[in-house]
Chains A and B, each alone.
Chain A
Amino acid sequence: DVKVTQSSRYLVKRTGEKVFLECVQDMDHENMFWYRQDPGLGLRLIYFSYDVKMKEKGDIPEGYSVSREKKERFSLILESASTNQTSMYLCASSFLSFNRGNNQPQHFGDGTRLSIL
């Protein structure tokens, strides 16, 4: 079974702090994703990566950055946390469909509920 592990289930930080959210997958997936989920807004893509050291902006990248130094690990960084970044953050991974000949499903971690005070 695919395992996507997010380092924290719950996290409380203060405004202005630099916050790191970590995600690790064990299936050798090329693609990794960071989403945030908010009531009434659904899931929105923040950033994704299709290879080590590669990153692409999603729909809402402002205020965030990412790092992918190893294939299995994808980090989301809140440079200076603000209260409007309080949310549920979800990491996902998948195979790159070009390499598999068919579209591949995304597999999700359990999420990190982040509160910024």
Chain B
Amino acid sequence: KQEVTQIPAALSVPEGENLVLNCSFTDSAIYNLQWFRQDPGKGLTSLLLIQSSQREQTSGRLNASLDKSSGRSTLYIAASQPGDSATYLCAVGFTQAGTALIFGKGTTLSVSS
């Protein structure tokens, strides 16, 4: 069964640092991988989606990479800001219809000013 792991579970950094969040999955037969942000008590906001045929996607200060063969994805956040403080979740899509995601438990990021 597909398992998704995110390490570390929590991360604290000073403002301005570049940082990397990690996501690993056990079955490389995936169709896509999606990164989400969740603020406390709120729903999830989609940040980036990488198709299985892609290596990376970029949006502003965010860059997500995907290495299917090794079962890994990273989310790179450049020049972190206090407003980046949130929980970041990765989710693996393993059906072509896009109907099923397996989520990691998330990394809670705290950026101090």
Contacts and interface: CB of A to CB of B under 8 A. Distances in A.
Task: Decide whether A and B assemble into one complex.
Answer: yes
Interface of A: 4, 6, 31, 33, 40-43, 45, 48, 50, 56, 58, 90, 92, 94-98, 102-111, 113
Given A105-B49, A110-B42, A110-B43, A98 B96 contact: yes
Interface residues of B, number: 26
Contacts of A110: 42-43
Given A92-B44, A109-B43, 7 more contacts: A41-B105, A45-B101, A48-B99, A48-B100, A90-B43, A95-B98, A107-B46
B36 to A, nearest CB: 8
Contact of B31 (A40, A50, A90, A103): A103
B46 A45 contact: no
11 contacts: A41-B105, A45-B100, A92-B44, A94-B98, A98-B97, A105-B34, A106-B34, A106-B98, A107-B46, A108-B43, A108-B44
Contacts of B96: 97-98, 103
Interface in B58-82: none
A59 B97 CA distance: 17
A-B pairs, 9 with minimum CB distance: A97-B98, A103-B32, A108-B43, A108-B44, A43-B103, A42-B105, A110-B43, A105-B46, A105-B49
Contacts, number: 70
A22 to B, nearest CB: 15
Given A43-B89, A103-B32, A103-B49, A97 B43 contact: no
Given A40-B105, A42-B104, A43-B89, A111 B99 contact: no
Contacts of B97: 31, 50, 96-98
A103 B98 contact: yes
A114 to B, nearest CB: 13
Nearest to B93: A103
Which has the most chain B C-beta neighbours within 10 Å: A40, A43, A50, A90? A43
Contacts of B42: 110-111
B45 interface: yes
